[in-house]
Amino acid sequence: MHNKKANGFALLPLIVFILIYLGAGLIYQSLGTDMAFYQFPIVTAALIGLVLAFCMGKGSINEKFSVFAKGAGNEDIMTMLIIFALAGAFSNVASIMGGRDSVVNLGLSVVPVQFLAAGIFVISAFMGTATGTSMGTISAIVPIAVGVADKGGLNIALVVGACVGGAMFGDNLSMISDTTIAATRSQNCEMKDKFRVNLLIALPAAVITVIMLLILGRPDTVAAMGDLSYSFVKVIPYLLVLVLAIIGINVFLVLTIGIIAAGVIGIVCGDLTVATYAQGIWNGITGMSEIFYLSLLMGGLAELTAHNGGIAWLIEKLRGVMKGNKSAQVGISSLVSLADCAVANNTVAIIVCGNVARDISHEYRVDPRRTASLLDVFSCVFQGILPYSAQPLSAAALTTACGFAMAPVDILPYVWYCGILAIFGIVSIFIPYADGVCRKDPWNWEYDVAESGVEAKKKSIAAVAE
């Protein structure tokens, strides 16, 4: 947390960045320009916002650059950058050695085309829940999903959107995801309790998404499949990545093993040489350059925004409108949503809001497990639908790397799960159907004042009499 005076003006660079990127894209789209959202690069828009941030606030350029570097070098940002690089390398090497075509043909031989979109969502949801990483899920599945959608005559953006939605389902619910850990630790509650509350919000949203994909995700006409021949040995790298990720192996090691396996198989089968293998790795990494640079700039811009008081201003304004239990829940949900819009990282958004949310939770008697669930749900909602967050950006970059140029805004209209999850999250506040799993004594918990920042120590509230 930044102990800075609240300053709404500090949000201006972020607002300028969003307006320039989306505004330019919409203008070019209205003019009928092909690839409208690629005409004004998103990295350039972020750079303009960053320059504006450097022009604001007190301190020398060197001091501001130190703040920027702290944000750009944040552990979460560095982690994402390495995942992007390895994912790009794996996707490209596996593709040029013929692995993607084999996986696509194998999938089309087994699953009817009309069920593929829903199938991609379910597979992504399962993998995301098992691994706890939406980025790892997207990196592993999008290249396969794109090839399947293209050959099956499906809407590629819809299928990729289904993959992103499934990945966010897993990110939200997984017991080992960063968001779950951050949310439960900040509220002093057990993961299993938060999971039970969260499941009653996320599962109905997932079921409705699957039904919609089964109905609306079917191709108008089933394309003739033609030759569906495949080499099973070339499917092995993808299977390795999926299986190793599901059993909980570190995502860096998983992708590295995938790159090595794809290279060895490609060389043995005669599809690659040592030189083309090395070139394939490099080309895959450089193909992720846009999202790589954007992540660095956004990490630094978010840190400058917080340093100058932008996040503190959001917190201050939202606390002023809370009057009771339900409005407090709405306030907590809004707070973490706006924080995620500002920092474009759902784990960081939860960490930024965690202590304040716990103060609000205690003051207005919101069950801590309920608060943890709301923090996780709404941070994941916006992380899946922001055109500058890592998940849509990565999905778009991987789709483009597969030969189908696509901007994040092309995918967002099809990330149906996140929109439906938001609806169920809001409904659960006013119709507390998900709260029945909570114990009857939710306030019999010790409140740690040192962490929360409350002036006077608050005693535990006695358990409610049965």
Chain length of the chain: 466
Closest CA to 382 of 213, 172, 211: 172
pTM, entire model: 0.72
CA-CA-CA-CA torsion sign (380, 383, 385, 390): negative
For tokens 């939605």, what's the residue? 165
Residue 448 has φ and ψ, to the nearest 5°, of -85, 105
Whether 1 and 186 have beta carbons less than 8 Å apart is answered as no
CA-CA-CA-CA torsion sign (219, 387, 202, 238): positive
The full DSSP string for 182-238 is HHHHHHT--HHHHHHHHHHHHHHHHHHHHHHHHHHSS-SSPPP-------GGGGHHH
Degrees (nearest 5) of the Cα angle 323, 329, 334? Answer: 100
Whether 292 and 85 have beta carbons less than 8 Å apart is answered as yes
Q: What is the mean pLDDT of residues 278-299?
A: 86
Structure tokens at 75: 């552990």
The amino acid that residue 358 corresponds to is: R
3-state secondary structure of 64: helix
Predicted local confidence at residue 130, as pLDDT:
67
Whether 247 and 241 have beta carbons less than 8 Å apart is answered as no
For the cut 90, the answer to whether the pLDDT of residue 280 exceeds it is yes
Write out pLDDT tens, residues 175-184: 767 788 788 8
Write out pLDDT tens, residues 340-396: 887 777 887 887 777 778 878 887 888 888 999 999 999 999 999 988 888 898 899
Write out pLDDT tens, residues 74-121: 887 788 788 778 888 888 898 889 887 787 677 767 777 778 889 889
Whether 348 and 342 have beta carbons less than 8 Å apart is answered as no
The amino acid that residue 301 corresponds to is: L
3-state secondary structure of 321: coil
Residues in CB range of 436: below 8 A, 6 or more apart: none
CA-CA-CA-CA torsion sign (282, 41, 390, 183): positive
Whether 179 and 347 have beta carbons less than 8 Å apart is answered as yes
Under the banding of pLDDT at 50, 70 and 90, the label for residue 289 is: confident
CA distance 370 to 373: 5
Of 220 and 147, more confident? 147
Write out pLDDT tens, residues 28-45: 878 877 667 668 888 898
